[in-house]
């Protein structure tokens, strides 16, 4: 004995299928929305790389907005990691810069 009647199992499966279809429809709607935005930007004269950058920035802004609403503590941690990454990038770039004495000797 399974613990579920055939009717109940079918009802649950149909409900899950309906939710999966709603998710697929929502994803398709998002794709269409961003494709419309891409076309608008391209028609406004933006080159492909600029359009790509705008779309990526817009998606990032949406994720940040969602995090602010649902998990502000995660956003704070992410912002801290981003700030640290930028500090390390500055440190790495400083290490790659020619030293003043070397630059003078090369000139």
33 shares its domain with 2: yes
Determine the average pLDDT of the residues in 56-71.
91
Please say if the pLDDT value at position 62 is more than 90: yes
Is there a single domain that holds both residue 76 and residue 49?
A: no
pTM: 0.65
**Residue predicted with more confidence, 82 or 53:** 53
Say if residue 85 is in the same domain as residue 42: no
Q: Domain check: are 19 and 52 in the same one?
A: yes
Q: How many domains does the chain have?
A: 2
Asked if 44 and 91 sit in the same domain, the reply is: no
Write down the pLDDT at residue 2: 75
Kindly state whether residues 64 and 98 are assigned to the same domain.
no
pLDDT in the model for residue 1: 54
* Full domain range(s) for residue 82: 72-107
Query: Quick one: 14 and 30 in the same domain?
Result: yes
Mind listing the pLDDT tens digit for each residue in 13-55? 999 999 999 999 999 999 999 999 999 999 999 999 999 999 9
Residue 95, pLDDT > 70, answer yes
Q: In sequence order, which ranges of the chain are alpha helices (DSSP H)?
A: 6-43, 48-70, 72-96, 100-106
> Exposure string (b/e) for 11-45, b if CB count within 10 Å is 16 or more?
eeeeeeeeeeeeeeeeeeeeeeeeeeebeebeeee
Determine how many CB atoms are found less than 10 A away from the CB of residue 50.
13
The pLDDT, as a whole number, for residue 106 is 60
Asked if residue 36 and residue 80 are part of one domain, the reply reads no
62 and 91 together in one domain: no
Residues 3, 21: one domain? yes
pLDDT category at 7 given cuts 50, 70, 90 is very high
User: Does residue 47 sit in helix, strand or coil?
Assistant: coil
Average pLDDT over every residue of 74-92: 89
């Amino acid at each position: 004995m399974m613990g579920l009647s055939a009717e109940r199992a079918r009802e649950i499966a149909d409900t899950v299928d309906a939710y999966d279809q709603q998710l697929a429809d929502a994803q398709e709607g998002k794709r269409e929305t961003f494709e419309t935005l891409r076309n608008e930007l391209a028609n406004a004269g933006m080159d492909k790389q600029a359009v790509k950058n705008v779309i990526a920035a817009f998606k990032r802004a949406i994720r940040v907005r969602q995090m602010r609403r649902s998990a502000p503590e995660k956003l704070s941690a992410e912002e801290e990691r981003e700030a640290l990454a930028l500090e390390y990038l500055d440190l790495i770039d400083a290490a790659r810069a020619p030293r003043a004495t070397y630059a003078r000797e090369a000139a």
